[in-house]
Chain A
Amino acid sequence: MDIAVEVDRAVVLLDRFPALAELDLTLPTGSVSLVQGPNGAGKTTLLRLLAGLATLDSGSARVLGFDVATQRRQVRASVGMLSPDAMLYEDLSILENLTFWAALGRHETDSVDAALERVGMTSVADQSVRSLSTGQRRRAALAAVAVRRPRLWLLDEPHAGLDQAGRTIVDDLVSDAIRAGATVIVASHELDRVRPLATHVLTVAGGVVHRAEVVNSGSGVANA
């Protein structure tokens, strides 16, 4: 079994507060993990650590074989993270945003077209981000993640602000990612939505994984 994520006694301090307090975690490649827990439990910090964005104060973490402390660039180049902020340039169109992020990731433009089609935004691709609704921005942000073709997807509340069609798109993207051999971690409060997709459920509280369950040894592919 290939290991995608291996975290050992990880401590991350935010203003001296232990957002992660000796957290341990091991996830296999190709798994879909639901990270659940109350606000302030450390879900987002865990995702940021795995994206190479949070600084590890002690312990160790390896993502896709790369050490997050010493091989940050390789980690970041391999993951795609959907965060609550859209991270899109307001004055550019959706197409220009995606083309920019594809260029930085050295991806070809066909990945942009594919991502736009996947999130159902081909017809509004030339629209500026400024003119988009909250749900459309969320879809565009999802496309910006998809365009990178990441090996590890880190999705922070991916269903927030989306209508029913948008939510289905998220589920389909997760399924596509798993079929392509990627690993997906979803932090969400929408347990009923994510649980059917998940192979693992991690309950986080107080900066540690309280409970880790293997709930579905299937493929993590959504049932349409």
Chain B
Amino acid sequence: MREVWAVAGKDLRIEMRSKVVASQVLPFAVIVLVLFGLALDADRGTLRSFTPGLFWVTVLFVAILTIQRSVSIETASSAFEALRLSGTAGWKIFAGKALAVAAQLLAIEAVMLLGVVVLYRSSFEDPVLVVTAALAATMAIATAGSLYGVLAVGMGVRDTILPMLLLPILAPVLVAATRAFDDGLSTAAVNGWAWCSLLACFALLYAIVGGVAYAVVLEDA
């Protein structure tokens, strides 16, 4: 596990130095929340009932930027080749990269949750469900994103291809996370924990597929 923490720690240290996510991605998330609020403000009830969906659509936008940043850390330094040369198992590099993306996304989501409380007047009816669903969905997004991020590099196309590849894969996560938040924020009568379990399954599935496939995909990056 030493290598996993080394990769995750390295990415987080680079973010602490460069502050790209904190100074560019986080403000973007807040701006999107404000714009949604302005667009739907005329009908406060509609805004509240749409909050879970708006929240997770914003998280997907933010995730794409965070994943692109995670990839660019490596491509800017020709470090994918150095990572291959290190002889480290692909799944360990994958796990480290995904953990770093997840940590950054969770920090942004915490600010966004504060934002929906302040801007949309949402209230947490079941905070444990909200936090658990956010953790599971974020792991699913981070694992799928880390794999597809390096896959996009290997395809040798511009990084604008990443949303095209990633969003269809993450559509089920968006649906499940929205439903779980519907319950957690009491915007719809659904069984949030059932959706949360589905999210955990997605996170596990993407983690396993990513762990197995990353080494192969990394060869072409």
Interface residues of A, Cβ cutoff 8 Å to B: 51-53, 73-79, 81, 83, 85-92, 96, 100-101, 103-106, 128, 144
Contacting pair A73 B82 (CB below 8 A): no
In the bound complex, do residue A85 and residue B78 qualify as a contact, i.e. CB atoms below 8 Å apart?
yes
Which residues of B sit under 8 angstroms from A77, Cβ to Cβ?
Answer: 86-87
In the complex, what residues of B have CB within 8 A of residue A78's CB?
87
| Apart from A85-B81, A86-B77: 17 A-B pairs, beta carbons within 8 A | A74-B87, A76-B85, A76-B86, A76-B87, A77-B87, A79-B85, A87-B77, A89-B73, A92-B17, A100-B6, A100-B10, A101-B86, A104-B3, A104-B6, A104-B7, A106-B2, A128-B17
How long is the Cα–Cα vector from A85 to B76 in the complex, in angstroms? 10
Of B10, B14, B84, B86, the residue contacting A105 (CB under 8 A) is B86
Contact, CB under 8 Å: A53 / B84: yes
Q: Are B85 and A88 in contact (CB under 8 A)?
A: no
CB within 8 Å for A83 and B81 given contacts A89-B10, A92-B13, A103-B3 = yes
Interface flag for B155 (CB, 8 Å): no
Q: Are B87 and A91 in contact (CB under 8 A)?
A: no
**Cα(A100)–Cα(B96), bound, Å:** 12
Instruction: Mark B residues whose CB is within 8 Å of A.
Output: 2-3, 6-7, 10, 13-14, 17-18, 73, 76-79, 81-89
The answer to whether B84 touches A76, judged by C-beta atoms less than 8 angstroms apart, is yes
> Is the beta-carbon distance between A89 and B79 smaller than 8 angstroms?
yes
Give the residues in chain A near B3, CB-CB below 8 Å.
103-104, 106
Q: Which of B18, B82, B84 has most A Cβ within 10 Å?
A: B82
Measured between C-beta atoms, what is the minimum distance from B75 to chain A in Å? 11
Whether A91 touches B89, Cβ cut-off 8 Å, given contacts A86-B77, A103-B2, is no
Complex Cα–Cα for A146 and B56 (A): 46
A128 cross-chain contacts in B, Cβ below 8 A: 17
- B218 to A: closest C-beta gap in Å: 11
Whether A89 contacts B89 by the Cβ 8 Å rule is no
**Which chain A residue lies CB-closest to B9?**
A100
**Quick one: closest A residue to B77, CB to CB?**
A89
Q: Would you give the shortest CB distance from B17 to chain A, in whole angstroms?
A: 4
Which residues of chain B come closer than 8 Å to A101, judged between CB atoms? 82, 86
Q: What are 20 A-B residue pairs whose CB atoms fall within 8 Å in the complex?
A: A52-B84, A74-B87, A77-B86, A83-B81, A85-B78, A86-B77, A86-B78, A87-B79, A89-B10, A89-B79, A90-B77, A91-B13, A91-B17, A92-B10, A96-B13, A100-B10, A101-B86, A104-B7, A105-B87, A106-B3
| CA of A89 to CA of B85, assembled, Å | 15
